[in-house]
Structure 1
Amino acid sequence: MEWGRAKSILIITFLLLNLLLGYQLWISNINLLNPFFGGNEMIQETRKLLEEKGIEIRGEIPTEKLNLNQITIDFDEKVQKDISFELISPVDVDEIISGEVNKTFLDEIEDFDQYQYDEVVSDENQQVFNQLYENLPLFDVQLKLYGSEGQLTHYDQQVAIVTPDITEEEQEVLSAPLVIHLLAEDYLKQGEVIEDIQLGYQGFESNPQALFPKWRIALGSGDIYYVHAFTGKVEVIQSI
């Protein structure tokens, strides 16, 4: 009996070791491919794959090369989450989209200039802005403006206090061409349309909350993919 138990433990240990080695090899292969797909000359390779699969991409594929690290955020307790406030004067949706809003509006919402408009998740009755950190959006820290019939009358605001992780060295993020290539090979369907590609931070629901650099790829169907910019792990939020 003891030998049988020991044998089972050894088998399980070897299986776990093989899984770990396989994961490390997968990550190593991604990191080796990253420089290959990082330069402008290799964007054509990605576009060729998209063309072969009938996948359309709107706009240009980002080519910046960045070194980033994970961050931690705490929501500012002074700002009550999910509490709606009424604007002194309604604001036209067109003004928000164009960025030509009046001074009264700018003064009314605290630190409005620290947020970036998010066209992907906005619609006629809800305009969404993401808080910025080092010029990158925090996809889950939002300022939302609500209303109807083209007029925005209320808002709610999240404010995050950001703490960078100084215990780990910064890592080079996976390039956008590589991320698009990986999605096109294994996830995207024939005829898909890529509407938007953006690098930002996104993480888990907790407090404090750890956020990791992630590429957000939004499709014309409404589906949104988040790709971990270090590991290449893919998460999908499907449209309803």
Structure 2
Amino acid sequence: MDWGRAKNVLIYAFLLLNLVLGYQLWNGVREQRDSNLDITSLENNTQRMMDEKQIRVLAKIPTETPELAKIAYRFVDGDQRGKTVDLPAPVDSKLIFSPRELASALKNTLPDIDQYRYDEVASSADVFVLHPLVDGKWPLFKIEMKLLGSNQKIISYQRQAIEISYPEEEKPQRVLSASKALGNLIENFLPEGSVVTEIELGYYGEVFDSDAHLPAAPAWRFMLESGKEYYVQGISGDVISPNTEKTKE
């Protein structure tokens, strides 16, 4: 055996392996940097206002700005918010964190539950809040299905069954970036000492007792540590604070 040649082959193999591992590490860091936009993406005056008002942002600032259209929805069986329906058999509440297993456990009672997403920040120990999904991805905020629990079991639910439609006149538009929406909030709306804990893109739908089709627009939801929430309309940039039920421009 030519040990010199074998040695050279091993050296080249290790060099190639190091190059591959180095590229994977660099690519992973780049993807993480691109997907986790930090507060340096905010404009300088916004960052100064953060310091002056002692506002902290603990949530990741999303970078996505998809093209989304306004939708319409209507309640299928009227407004059923106060009606509680018992499950045929209790379900382990731990399944709420495993969407596939939860859907399997409740498919006979709620066959479309896989079209809902769990909202951890809106939930409590025994009330699990889920929102219907638009296009299977974007949560329709303010429209809720509540799974009610007791002794670590889900025993009943409350549901607002809806039907979503897509008006032909509504064309997809590029949504406002999360950083711009957050900048507007910081400079004009958030009180001193606010802590932003969650930022998510979805749709904002008002709840009215009506059989008519109701409009819903793309919106960024900003949750504060205090429990207060703000929505920034993704097309117009209007700011909505459901706590006061006022729309601000």
Same fold (TM over 0.5): yes
**Counterpart secondary structure, 1:96:** helix
CA–CA distance in 2 between the matches of 1:235 and 1:77?
28
Amino acid at match of 2:149: G
Deviation at 1:106, TM superposition (A): 3.4
CA–CA distance in 2 between the matches of 1:144 and 1:41?
33
**Counterpart secondary structure, 2:74:** strand
Name the counterpart of 2:24. none
Q: Say if 2:71 and 2:170, in contact at 8 Å, map to a contact too.
A: no
Name the counterpart of 1:167. 169
Name the counterpart of 2:193. 191
CA–CA distance in 2 between the matches of 1:237 and 1:74?
20
Name the counterpart of 1:212. 217
Runs of 4+ in 1 over 4 A off after TM superposition: 39-43, 78-81
Gaps of 5+ in 2: 1-34, 245-249
Amino acid at match of 2:70: Q
Deviation at 1:71, TM superposition (A): 0.8
CA 1:145–1:44 in 2, change beyond 3 Å: closer, same or farther?
same
From 36, 39, 44, the counterpart of 2:40: 44
Amino acid at match of 1:95: L
Name the counterpart of 2:27. none
CA deviation digits over 1:62-112, x for unaligned, max 9?
A: 111111221111222399554221112222333213444383333322211
**Counterpart secondary structure, 2:235:** coil
CA 1:86–1:182 in 2, change beyond 3 Å: closer, same or farther?
same
Q: Say if 1:117 and 1:128, in contact at 8 Å, map to a contact too.
A: yes
TM-score with structure 2 setting the length = 0.71
1:76-95 maps to which residues of 2 (within 5 A)?
76-77=76-77, 82-95=82-95
Deviation at 1:220, TM superposition (A): 0.7
Q: Say if 2:91 and 2:105, in contact at 8 Å, map to a contact too.
A: no
Name the counterpart of 2:119. 118
CA–CA distance in 2 between the matches of 1:83 and 1:229?
32
Deviation at 1:50, TM superposition (A): 6.8
CA–CA distance in 2 between the matches of 1:173 and 1:81?
30
- Identity value in percent: 33
CA–CA distance in 2 between the matches of 1:149 and 1:121?
20
Q: Say if 2:66 and 2:174, in contact at 8 Å, map to a contact too.
A: yes
Q: Say if 1:54 and 1:190, in contact at 8 Å, map to a contact too.
A: yes
**Counterpart secondary structure, 1:107:** coil
Amino acid at match of 1:193: V
CA deviation digits over 1:169-188, x for unaligned, max 9?
A: 32211110000010010111
Name the counterpart of 1:14. none
Mapped pair 1:155 → 2:157 = yes
Between the two proteins, the alignment pairs up a number of residues equal to 201
Deviation at 1:191, TM superposition (A): 2.2
Amino acid at match of 1:55: I
Q: Say if 1:72 and 1:163, in contact at 8 Å, map to a contact too.
A: yes
CA 1:83–1:48 in 2, change beyond 3 Å: closer, same or farther?
same
Amino acid at match of 2:40: Q
Amino acid at match of 1:72: A
Deviation at 1:128, TM superposition (A): 0.8
CA–CA distance in 2 between the matches of 1:40 and 1:218?
18
CA deviation digits over 1:107-145, x for unaligned, max 9?
A: 322211000001121101210110001111111332111
Deviation at 1:45, TM superposition (A): 3.8
Name the counterpart of 2:228. 223
Deviation at 1:197, TM superposition (A): 0.8
Name the counterpart of 2:56. 56
CA 1:80–1:179 in 2, change beyond 3 Å: closer, same or farther?
closer
TM-score with structure 1 setting the length = 0.74
Higher-Rg member (1/2): 2
Deviation at 1:164, TM superposition (A): 1.1
CA–CA distance in 1 between the matches of 2:110 and 2:187?
43
